[in-house]
């Protein structure tokens, strides 16, 4: 086995650091396509328009009987029509999390102008994040096993359920033969997937990456599990007001579903094919708290480190960040610790930052959250507009930042962080810049 000299490893690391310190630049990774299905919009335009307008997609659960559940609200997709992209026979063979990924990817590919007839498909890859994969299929087939016996378990059970299958379907459908990765790091999954897609392109293993996250976890088992650990809001009488990040009276998150997909490529590749460049994906930072399986580390040190790494990876300073799309789950621990982490990292600049949580309108999409929130970050740059945190009524003394309460604000937006933090202590942050 060929071994790498420790000296060479140290030299490589030193070289990377000196490149940044000397002002040397690497080739830009740019964003050329976006696609989404979300509780408050089934395409990018509708989703963004509703985010800016402060329209919530949270309501009473319609997918199943909630009469025996502690929690009866979620961010379900509304008026979703996958038949515009997929044949109904195909839909029946897929778990919803794969359906969401395909529909969102179809929009992203069309926006990016990807022509599969003219591009080298060996150089197009996929990196998709999901927290739980095909859990609806899992629940359905467990019920079949218990009620009708093992012979009634579908032969399609495994290929519908496994977490990597959404990414597999994307490659099969469009013929993408490049690297295909599935990332599962809880609520950080989509952001990690985007960051890893960026690294794959930088390593020279692909020219284009289809990346983001997908989740379809509004199911009886998922709702019961989160509710019984007291993670979900029980403010079910007014669903649209239940998600209230950073508000003193927040009492838990609301489960949501959907997908957010981005098309990444090198600046040179995008220019050569005449693509419209929407923004630059400039940096990525990832850490782990190494503290607790569900609770964030006190003081948000892991979150702070991930934000710092993303900013450094982008060769920026904290003062270059104008807006943070916060993880902002509407849980007591997260919102306080995330606020403290931002204050600690940004110092005096923290009071100039705009910070908002669009989970106030979509709920928490778990492994897909980073996908739809990366899209918000791009659109904020495109329109020079900061989306609001709705339902913000009573300030929390422990949360001292400008959370853009209830109404969108026009603002100069050149640098954005998109934060995602997950169970297991996972922290993932991407830095998106205005393309220049």
- Give the Cα separation of 138 and 122 in Å (integer): 33
Q: Would you say residue 18 has pLDDT above 90?
A: no
DSSP conformation class of 388 = P
Residue recorded with tokens 């016996």: 149
- For residue 51, CA distances in Å to 266, 388, 412 come to 29, 8, 18
Where does the pLDDT of residue 351 fall: very low under 50, low under 70, confident under 90, or very high at 90 and above? very high
Catalytic positions, written as ranges: 187, 327, 364
Q: Are 277 and 270 in contact (CB under 8 A)?
A: yes
Phi first, then psi: what are they for 300, rounded to 5°?
65, 35
Range 349-353 average pLDDT: 97
- Give the Cα separation of 274 and 83 in Å (integer): 30
Q: How far apart are the first and last CA of the chain?
A: 45
If one counts every other C-beta atom within 10 angstroms of the C-beta of residue 277, the result is 16
Q: Are 185 and 192 in contact (CB under 8 A)?
A: yes
Percentage of the chain lying above the pLDDT 90 cut: 92
Domain-by-domain residue ranges, the chain? Answer: 29-433
Range 303-310 average pLDDT: 98
Q: Which conformational region is residue 264 in: left (phi greater than 0), alpha (psi within -120 to 50 degrees), or beta?
A: beta
Average pLDDT, rounded, for the chain: 94
Range 170-198 average pLDDT: 98
Crossing angle (nearest 10°) for helices 44-53 and 369-383: 80
Nearest to 361 by CA among 107, 47, 70: 47
307 vs 17, residue with greater confidence = 307
Task: Record the pTM.
Answer: 0.94
Where does the pLDDT of residue 4 fall: very low under 50, low under 70, confident under 90, or very high at 90 and above? very low
Reported as a single tens digit per residue, the pLDDT across 209-261 is 999 999 999 999 999 999 999 999 999 999 999 999 999 999 999 999 999 99
Q: Would you say residue 306 has pLDDT above 80?
A: yes
Fold for domain 29-433? Peroxisomal Thiolase; Chain A, domain 1 (3.40.47)
Residue recorded with tokens 């600046």: 267
pLDDT of the residue at 5: 40
Residue recorded with tokens 């104008």: 322
**Could you tell me the two tokens for 341?**
């982490």
pLDDT of the residue at 299: 85
């Amino acid at each position: 086995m060929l071994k790498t000299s420790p000296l060479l490893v140290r030299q490589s690391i030193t070289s990377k650091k000196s490149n940044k310190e000397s002002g040397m630049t690497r080739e830009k990774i740019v964003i050329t396509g976006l696609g989404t299905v979300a509780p408050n919009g089934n395409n990018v335009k509708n989703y963004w328009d509703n985010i800016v307008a402060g329209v919530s997609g949270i309501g009473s659960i319609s997918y199943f009987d909630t009469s025996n559940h502690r929690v009866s609200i979620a961010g379900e997709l509304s008026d979703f029509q996958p038949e515009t992209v997929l044949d109904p026979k195909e839909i029946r063979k897929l778990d919803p999390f794969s359906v969401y990924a395909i529909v969102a990817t179809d929009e992203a590919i069309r926006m990016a102008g990807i022509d599969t007839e003219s591009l080298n498909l060996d150089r197009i890859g996929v990196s998709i994040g999901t927290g739980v994969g095909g859990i609806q299929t899992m629940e359905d087939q467990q019920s079949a096993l218990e009620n009708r016996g093992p012979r009634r378990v579908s032969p399609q059970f495994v290929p519908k359920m496994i977490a990597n299958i959404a990414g597999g379907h994307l490659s099969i459908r469009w013929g993408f033969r490049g690297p295909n990765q599935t990332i599962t790091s809880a609520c950080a999954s989509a952001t990690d997937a985007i960051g890893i897609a960026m690294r794959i392109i930088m390593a020279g293993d692909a020219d284009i990456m289809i990346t983001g996250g997908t989740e379809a976890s509004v199911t009886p088992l998922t709702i019961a599990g989160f509710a019984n650990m007291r993670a979900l809001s029980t403010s079910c009488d007014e669903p649209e007001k239940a998600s209230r990040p950073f508000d003193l009276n927040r009492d838990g998150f609301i489960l949501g579903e959907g997908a957010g997909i981005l098309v990444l490529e090198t600046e040179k590749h995008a220019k050569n094919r005449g693509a419209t460049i929407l923004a630059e994906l400039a940096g990525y930072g990832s850490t782990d708290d190494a503290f607790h399986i569900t609770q964030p580390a006190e003081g948000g040190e892991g979150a702070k480190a991930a934000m710092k790494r993303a900013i450094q990876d982008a060769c920026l300073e904290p003062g270059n960040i104008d807006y943070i799309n916060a993880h902002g789950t509407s849980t007591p621990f997260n919102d306080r610790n995330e606020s403290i982490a931002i204050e600690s990292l940004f110092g005096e600049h923290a009071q100039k930052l705009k910070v908002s949580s669009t989970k106030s309108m979509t709920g928490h999409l778990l492994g897909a959250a980073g996908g739809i929130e990366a899209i918000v970050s791009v659109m904020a740059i495109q329109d020079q507009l900061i989306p609001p945190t709705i339902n913000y009524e009573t300030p929390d003394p422990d949360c001292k930042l400008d959370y853009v309460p209830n109404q969108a604000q026009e603002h100069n937006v050149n640098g954005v962080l998109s934060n995602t933090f997950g169970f297991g202590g996972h922290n993932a942050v991407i830095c998106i810049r205005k393309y220049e």
